[in-house]
Structure 1
């Protein structure tokens, strides 16, 4: 199944807001968007104090990821990329 990297900007929010959003996202995936798998997310703070997330999803289509984001409401997807593959340092070490 294709994998997608999804970038969102949440602005200036606290941990409680992020917990509520993440719980809602999980509920949507468990009940309505059962073909989507949320693998993990990286949460970063920008120099100006905004919170951004970079999330990895497995989904049959990019469109379905967008539909999930719309159902979640607010904090729409800024950028989405289909992941072409992964590399790790061990891939380049001589064994």
Structure 2
């Protein structure tokens, strides 16, 4: 299944409390349950003003639907074409 990186612009994201992040996570999981097993949330990375999420999904449209139903921004959705890491250099 394709993997995507989603960039979510959220001013002040880095200042969100644990409770606020938990509420966002709970909403996301609720919407994922509605959408079924075709879409999977892998990880998210919170920076000062953005959240970057990794999802496995069959297409961008289901990610856009997740964002719409959850009320989250999905400012940019990019399919991962390949991965590299320090082992790639060997």
Query: So what's the TM-score if we normalise by structure 1?
Result: 0.82
Unaligned runs of 5+ in 2: none
Q: Give, in whole Å, the separation in 2 of the partners of 1:88 and 1:12.
A: 30
Unaligned runs of 5+ in 1: none
10 and 18 in structure 1: CA distance in 2 versus 1, 3 angstrom threshold: farther
Out of 37, 40, 43, the residue aligned to residue 40 of structure 1 is 43
1:22-51 deviation digits (Å, cap 9, x = unpaired): 11101211x212211101011111xxxx3x
Aligned-residue Cα RMSD (Å) equals 1.3
How much has 1:85 moved relative to structure 2?
1.1
- Asked which structure has the greater CA Rg, the reply is 1
Moved over 2 A (4+): none
Deviations 1:10-29 (A, max 9, x none): 22252222221111101211
SS for the counterpart of 1:32 is helix
- The structure in which a higher percent of residues are helix is 2
Q: What corresponds to 2:68 in structure 1?
A: 70
SS of 2:5's equivalent? strand
Would you tell me which structure has more strand in proportion to its own residues?
1
